[in-house]
Structure 1
Amino acid sequence: MRKFSCAVSLLVSIIEVLTAGNSFGQSNDLYSAELMNGLSNKGANLTKPYITAGDRTYIVGTQNGDFPDLGSHVKGEMGGLWMAPIKLLDGFWLKLTNEKGGASAWLKDAREFITYPYGSKFLYSPILDGIQVERFQYCPQGKEGIVVTYTIKNSTSKSRVLTVDFVAKTDVSPVWFSKENNIIDATDSISWNANRSVYLARDVKNSWFTVWGSSIPASSHALNVPTPTETIGLGKSASSTHRVTIKPNEQITAVFVIAGSTKNSESALASYEAILKNQDRLLAEKKAYYASIINRVKLDIPDKKLQQVVNWGKVDTEWLVSDLPGIGRFLGAGAIEYPWLFGCDNSYAQQGVVALGGHELAKSTLRTIKQVSEKTNGNGRIIHEMSSNGFVGNKGNTQETAQFAIAVWKVFEWTGDVDFLKEMYPYIKQGIHWLLTDQDKNGNMFPEGYGIMEVKGLNAELVDVAVYTQQALDVTSKMAAIVNDPAAQQDYAQKATVLKNLVNTLFWDETEGSYCDFYGTREQAITTTKGAIEQLQLETRADNRSHEFVQKEEFYKKLLAHLETFPEGTQKGWFTNKNWVISTPIESGIAPSDKAIKLLDKVRTEHTGAYGPYLSAVERRSMMTIATGVQAVAEATYGRTDESMWYVNKLVQTFGRVLPGSISEMMPDYGCPDQAWTIYGLAVPLITHVFGVQPDAYKKTITFSPNLPSGWDNINVSDLPVGNNLIAFAVKKTSRGTEYDLSSKNADWNYTIKQKGLRGKKYVLNGKTLTANSDELHVGGKSAIILLLN
């Protein structure tokens, strides 16, 4: 065990005998119960989309239970039932008919939608004089199929005989970016398998198959039947009819299973039969899986709404996980438009995922990005996006290569997985070379190329690219030390120091009190401004150009005239778009404090809308969860806890605006209803700043430097995974002082309590009063309670 000063040595020597300590949280069932009970839309947003998620299949429709054409990447085809890389069905519908009298009704307009972590439920208004119906659906983990269950209740005093028509519309077709790679959708064919009472559909030119059937016998079947909702595509419709008798005040359950294969019909049939046979067990496993995710990192904080949102954040992040054969297990970017793999999105998201205990998902996602990038680029460059068919649509914006290195290091800090780091390091090293050689033609250490803001004409030396490159150099130098590459360690560390100084001098505009959008020539600034004008005009119809549009256009025109007054070839930082990424030097912590505070105040007062920073403070239109999240982290990095939580709570305010349990990509209520990188702005400020958890799992150490917001007197986190350890940590303000309560599963770890101004203060350990001789207290063992006296 490490040796410390006299007072700290005493603390270490008695730490093992401390019996009082923080427990590892309340029981799992109690903690996860609230979320497992689901959330209702309370009858609102019925025409808005939802996702019923699984790692091999998922369903997208609208919250009234319907399946209209949705989405833009494959226009009108992003909804339906999916088993990437193919769609299985456009949708399905149920019709009930009274055998006596012949009255019938489609179940098309649910009155209420309930989202559960593990599935979705639709509640319908009573039909046919006393028939009540609920529909529940889920996607079993790791299975190539979907389960849909209808519970049909007879609320009358007479037996009822009903015919149930289950109508499905096929669309066995490929994902986005297939046609461009000569994967062409063709017409579907459908056949009825009488022996197994199932339908089999396939694309006539591709080995794509869909099978569906029911737990209740079919009395008849029919092809090319009408559907209550018309959808585009090359699919066909079919129905199966089932006769049921329901006694008074009783109910029956009808289970339908849809399965698929990209190999052959036998595989699809095998999946169908296995899921139908085991659907109860598979549902129990799905519930247990999501309960385990919720119970990973238990929070107890005064702001119960934030606590609820962070817990749902774990869930709706998991909704975006895909496990694609031959590619890997990874976190997709967003539903419904971006369920595939992204470099930038995951470089943010995995920092939140790993802080909330998702170590394996973080590693498998980054492994997949590395493997796809290596196959596609082979030079260290990290891809921007890969469709679910394995094709890469964009080989990578410049900042993504740097961001990837940062994300790998953050994951390593939490996991201590040396094998993972050694696996990533060679490609990251190639990426550093690519950034500072291929992408830095003029050798000024500012890599060129598009960054996070994909603005027309903004192809220059951007602030986010420069900042994240500096951070990549810093963390890669630390990686080099661990993998025993001393020459690279020294080189990267020196370059990181140089680049930090360059960012803080050449990108800073004292007149504006801000970092600039990019560094470059007068000619680049003119091109960028013209691009902004062109993009603004393209995005606004000529017959709908408001006073607001005129003001924005006028700003850019005046800026253009101002730029033209500079001598040709002038090089400097240019403040042209006021994009939110000007805060990245603060988010990363490389900005001097005076510059950081000045810009933080400027963003809050001049660049921020109702829900956080505008993507462009010139255009002042759109706000996005990642921009708000980055601003929350930036405030936290400079110790401004209340200001940080102000931004975090802007995320909270948009919770459930469209999809119960989730936050929309574009704030407050549009874009993807579920977005992966939102977890960055929820988890990172809370775990790493408010709780102050700074892990170094490789060295089996954790530093705690908590910063409680105003009005918070008691915070607790338990079941927090760090490396192979499990931590519980609480902070409580009392009349005597501040109490820190630490518990650890393993005894061979060391911990530091770090607080400014601690030196010289009295603290109590196990009834004995001691004096701190620094701003840090070091402890080891399995538990400790420390009271810092007022």
Structure 2
Amino acid sequence: MKKNTLSSTALLCSLLLFLFPQAHGQSSDENYSKSIMAGISNKGQNKNQPYITAGDRTYIIGTQDGNFPDMGGHVKGEMGGLWLHPIKLLDGFWIKLKDINTENESWLSEASEFVNYPYGNKIKYSPVLNGLETERFQFCPDGQQGMIIQYTIKNTSNQKRTLDLGFFAKTDISPVWFSKEIGIIDHKDKVVWEPGNGFFIGSDDSAHAWTVVWGASIPSTGQLIGTDEIPQKTIGNGVAATSDYRLLIDKNSSITVSFIIAGSAKDKNEAINAYKGLAKNHAKLLEEKKKHYASIIERARIKIPDQSLQEVYNWVKVNTAWLIRDVPGIGRGLGAGFMEYPWWFGCDNTYSLQAVMATGDFDLAKQTLRLLKNESMKKNGNGRIAHEISTNGAVANPGNTQETAQFIMCVEKLFEWTGDMDFIKEMYPVMKMGINWLLKDMDQNKNLFPEGYGIMEVHGLNAELIDVAVYTQQALKATARIAGILNDLQVQNQYLQLSARLAEKINQDFWDESESSYCDFYGNTEQAVSATEGAIRQLGFRKVDSTLNERDKQLLTYYEQLKNKFSAMPATNRGWITNKNWVINTPMETGIAPAEKAIKLLDKIRKEHLGAYGPYLSAVEKRHMMTIATGVQAVAEYMYGRTNESMWYVNKIVQTFNRVLPGSISEMMPDYGCFTQAWTSYGVVLPLVRHVFGIQPDASNKSIIVEPHLPSGWEDISIENLFVGNNIISFTRTKTSRGIEYILTSKEQDWKIILKLKDSDGAKYYLNGMQISLDSSGIKMAGKNNKLLIVHKS
């Protein structure tokens, strides 16, 4: 059962005030989180674009004009509204105001401004009914099965006003996507008014125990069930109902009315209890939520010269928290994106969780990996990690090949940050099963290149793909390390040898010297022809009235010519370039590409494969860009020490901030797809924490290497409240009149921190006031506080 408490890492965050008083004292630092917590306005723009009011149990999606149109595709038209996974509760709600004296009435139908906060939203309406100003604030408390909506109505006139407020709601108590496939069917809703309690109860007739309850903080003066008066037509089996409320507002005064909506996928009593708890405690729950999000911003907080990037870094941490799904009976884990993908994905999380680790939420990383393991084992039972798991527990795709390898990599990376022996003992058997599945079940020709679809899922590209091979090599290396730690030396030696062989084969068999590029896949001529046919079929899906646009015609010609070229070639096994998919950068992302190959391809991608915001998903099609592709490219650049090039890609992501939803970045660049996407954090957090600040954790050995790489023009940087294992460290670099000053602090006394710097000719180094020499192994620091001063020749 989910308790209404913060995770252990969040609780530890609350101790930071005492551990690092300089970060929380009366200084400019105290305003660090305030700027984010103050929210971001849409400035009256994007009114028809969606927003999210997020909680880990419930969330609601509407449009920034305050309405709830039919939205989304997975459950057609139903992805908006109020959700309590694995069910939906409401399509939405609407307000109508009526002046009793004049009998004039007005719907609050179009907001003039939307303000997005980490913890909720405010929707402002232009004055209605001669001088009534209205604001709507809403939030979904974490750990609670419902939400709060508060309308504040201000009377700006010089006379007392008597109003009727009508609160219209429409139920749509229905199951999550991929429910029909496992026999869960939606039925017509039923709504009744409970006069003794002053609220409505909606249920999915007698077929399920699904329930929604809603009411207000003041008594209702009238109710109507079955109204068709709501301003937007909605689909589904829901029922509309209205409750009226009499408001008396003095001149130049205001009144606030709170509405509470709660629900249950279990039974009516649970829904009623959730409602009563929210009605009683919503003010306290709001304060708790604000404190929780402030702690997220304070954890692993950075200061850098680029204020736009710093703001995006903070908001992607917030966005990640929005996407947490906690579903009783299944678990708690990080979802992929709103609105279409709020459930759990193997591939997405192996990127997203690396950013989660680097910003210190180890509990969430463990919970998500455990959920993926458990649900995948239920479905597959052989170490294969599922691609897509709905919140009803149904697995829509048992897993693309690379996802198993990525999962294994991710477990080992979490161990770097936590040193958690119990967790790797739990995961190690599944890691070995996954390796077995990759190299036996999925490598039929035993050439170390597993077969099957990879990240791109391109028609006809069910072959030995570059991303699958690279991530399998990394999975072997990761499992070998864990095997060594657990003293399974035979497995360790076997996997180390296989890992080395596979890295060599990738760099030999996948590399096309004539193209200065890694290939899309390795296979025979027949598979190459099939890949071109798959691309042709995919283009066929874009036909409109049996015609193709000019760009599609060009692509069709390209693939047909490529097919003819391949068909005329003798049968052979080799690497093939067909789509020029962005995943050709994975050998550089993981650092297994030799430098001479890596630099050639990195430069080629920059010159030939880019759109306005990063690499095209396919450099042949040149259509779409995604934050994950741009983020991986940023990581690939820093793996070869190219800091400025890495940050150039990071700032391409930054340029798409606020395009759709204030405070967020869309999945597809610059402004479509999911309006909030978890894996965007990979391309923002990792280049900063792992490269610019140079944090290399080894928690099991109580050791951290700090090897900073500053972009051109950067001088003063800091990262504070960074969690590594049971420790919290802070690192600051400042240019002063005396020289360059580095300060490292550690909560724990017995950790070893090594600062690696490039030697500067003629510089003198003073550690805690004592002159020292710099060597290639770095400057070893012990204790809780260390200061290094570098004095250059004048």
**1:732 aligns to what SS in structure 2?**
strand
Alignment match, 2:699: 697
Contact residue 53 and residue 319 of structure 1 kept, 8 A? yes
CA distance in 1 between counterparts of 2:100 and 2:44 reads: 31
**1:125 aligns to what SS in structure 2?**
strand
Q: CA deviation at 1:776?
A: 1.7
Which of 301, 305, 309 does residue 308 from structure 2 map onto? 305
Alignment match, 1:509: 512
Alignment of 1:505-584 (within 5 A): 505-541=508-544, 545-568=548-571, 570-584=572-586
Alignment match, 1:631: 633
Contact residue 689 and residue 707 of structure 1 kept, 8 A? yes
CA distance in 2 between counterparts of 1:692 and 1:760 reads: 24
Q: CA deviation at 1:757?
A: 4.8
Deviation string 1:755-777 (CA, Å, 9 cap, x unpaired) is 34579964222333322233422
Which of 684, 687, 690 does residue 686 from structure 2 map onto? 684
Contact residue 377 and residue 383 of structure 2 kept, 8 A? yes
**2:523 aligns to what SS in structure 1?**
strand
Distance 1:517 1:396, change over 3 A: same
Alignment match, 1:9: none
Alignment match, 1:5: none
CA distance in 1 between counterparts of 2:148 and 2:773 reads: 63
Deviation string 1:118-145 (CA, Å, 9 cap, x unpaired) is 0011000000001110001100110111
**1:228 aligns to what SS in structure 2?**
coil
Deviation string 1:547-593 (CA, Å, 9 cap, x unpaired) is 2222212221221122122112x100001000000000000000000
- Indicate whether 1:238 and 2:221 are aligned: no
Q: CA deviation at 1:420?
A: 1.0
- Indicate whether 1:404 and 2:407 are aligned: yes
Alignment of 1:197-212 (within 5 A): 197-204=198-205, 205-212=207-214
CA distance in 1 between counterparts of 2:553 and 2:733 reads: 53
Letter in 2 for 1:219: T
Deviation string 1:504-554 (CA, Å, 9 cap, x unpaired) is 000000000000000000000000111001101212425553322222122
Letter in 2 for 1:257: I
CA distance in 1 between counterparts of 2:440 and 2:758 reads: 41
Contact residue 542 and residue 548 of structure 2 kept, 8 A? no
Alignment of 1:245-324 (within 5 A): 245-324=248-327
Alignment match, 2:34: 33
Deviation string 1:434-492 (CA, Å, 9 cap, x unpaired) is 00000000000000000000111110000000000000000111101111211111111
Letter in 2 for 1:457: G
- Alignment RMSD: 1.4
Gaps of 5+ in 1: 1-20
CA distance in 1 between counterparts of 2:35 and 2:50 reads: 23
CA distance in 2 between counterparts of 1:459 and 1:493 reads: 27
Greater relative CO, 1 or 2 (CA 8 Å, sep 6+):
1
CA distance in 2 between counterparts of 1:748 and 1:758 reads: 30
Letter in 1 for 2:97: L
Deviation string 1:385-430 (CA, Å, 9 cap, x unpaired) is 1011111100000000000011111111111111111111110110
Deviates more, 1:754-763 or 1:443-452: 754-763
Which of 327, 335, 338 does residue 338 from structure 2 map onto? 335
Contact residue 704 and residue 752 of structure 1 kept, 8 A? yes
- Indicate whether 1:498 and 2:501 are aligned: yes
Equivalent residue pairs, number: 769
**2:377 aligns to what SS in structure 1?**
helix
CA distance in 2 between counterparts of 1:488 and 1:26 reads: 51
Which of 471, 474, 498 does residue 471 from structure 1 map onto? 474
Alignment match, 1:727: 729
Contact residue 408 and residue 475 of structure 2 kept, 8 A? yes
CA distance in 2 between counterparts of 1:284 and 1:479 reads: 42
Deviation string 1:214-248 (CA, Å, 9 cap, x unpaired) is 00110110011121111000001000010010000
Gaps of 5+ in 2: 1-19
Which of 740, 751, 761 does residue 753 from structure 2 map onto? 751
Letter in 2 for 1:623: M
Alignment match, 1:8: none
Which of 708, 712, 715 does residue 713 from structure 1 map onto? 715
Q: CA deviation at 1:714?
A: 1.1
Q: TM-score, normalised by structure 2?
A: 0.95
Alignment match, 1:448: 451
Which of 324, 329, 334 does residue 326 from structure 1 map onto? 329
CA distance in 1 between counterparts of 2:741 and 2:523 reads: 52
Alignment match, 1:57: 58
Deviation string 1:317-365 (CA, Å, 9 cap, x unpaired) is 1100011101111000000000001000000000011101111111111
- Indicate whether 1:458 and 2:461 are aligned: yes
Alignment match, 2:421: 418
Alignment of 1:94-173 (within 5 A): 94-173=95-174
CA distance in 1 between counterparts of 2:480 and 2:760 reads: 31
Alignment match, 1:222: 224
Contact residue 22 and residue 730 of structure 1 kept, 8 A? no
Contact residue 757 and residue 775 of structure 1 kept, 8 A? no
CA distance in 1 between counterparts of 2:420 and 2:581 reads: 36
**1:221 aligns to what SS in structure 2?**
strand
CA distance in 2 between counterparts of 1:299 and 1:482 reads: 33
Contact residue 446 and residue 466 of structure 1 kept, 8 A? yes
Q: CA deviation at 1:24?
A: 4.2
Alignment match, 1:13: none
Alignment match, 1:89: 90
Distance 1:578 1:735, change over 3 A: farther
Contact residue 81 and residue 91 of structure 1 kept, 8 A? yes
Deviation string 1:91-120 (CA, Å, 9 cap, x unpaired) is 100000011121100112101101100001
Contact residue 149 and residue 258 of structure 2 kept, 8 A? yes
Letter in 2 for 1:304: Q
CA distance in 2 between counterparts of 1:486 and 1:775 reads: 28
CA distance in 2 between counterparts of 1:73 and 1:185 reads: 15
Letter in 2 for 1:470: Q
CA distance in 2 between counterparts of 1:735 and 1:246 reads: 61
CA distance in 1 between counterparts of 2:131 and 2:44 reads: 21
Alignment match, 1:80: 81
CA distance in 2 between counterparts of 1:25 and 1:681 reads: 28
**1:666 aligns to what SS in structure 2?**
coil
Alignment match, 2:649: 647
CA distance in 1 between counterparts of 2:313 and 2:541 reads: 38
CA distance in 2 between counterparts of 1:649 and 1:84 reads: 35
Contact residue 172 and residue 188 of structure 1 kept, 8 A? yes
**2:424 aligns to what SS in structure 1?**
helix
Contact residue 23 and residue 728 of structure 1 kept, 8 A? no
CA distance in 1 between counterparts of 2:565 and 2:106 reads: 67
Letter in 1 for 2:518: Y
Taking every aligned residue pair, what percent have the same amino acid on both sides? 56
Contact residue 480 and residue 492 of structure 2 kept, 8 A? yes
CA distance in 2 between counterparts of 1:548 and 1:592 reads: 36
Alignment match, 1:67: 68
CA distance in 2 between counterparts of 1:613 and 1:301 reads: 26
Contact residue 760 and residue 771 of structure 1 kept, 8 A? no
**2:215 aligns to what SS in structure 1?**
strand
Deviates more, 1:424-433 or 1:262-271: 262-271
CA distance in 1 between counterparts of 2:587 and 2:458 reads: 20
Deviation string 1:24-70 (CA, Å, 9 cap, x unpaired) is 46677522101111100001100001110000000001000100000
**2:127 aligns to what SS in structure 1?**
coil
CA distance in 1 between counterparts of 2:161 and 2:373 reads: 59
Alignment match, 1:359: 362
Contact residue 24 and residue 30 of structure 2 kept, 8 A? no
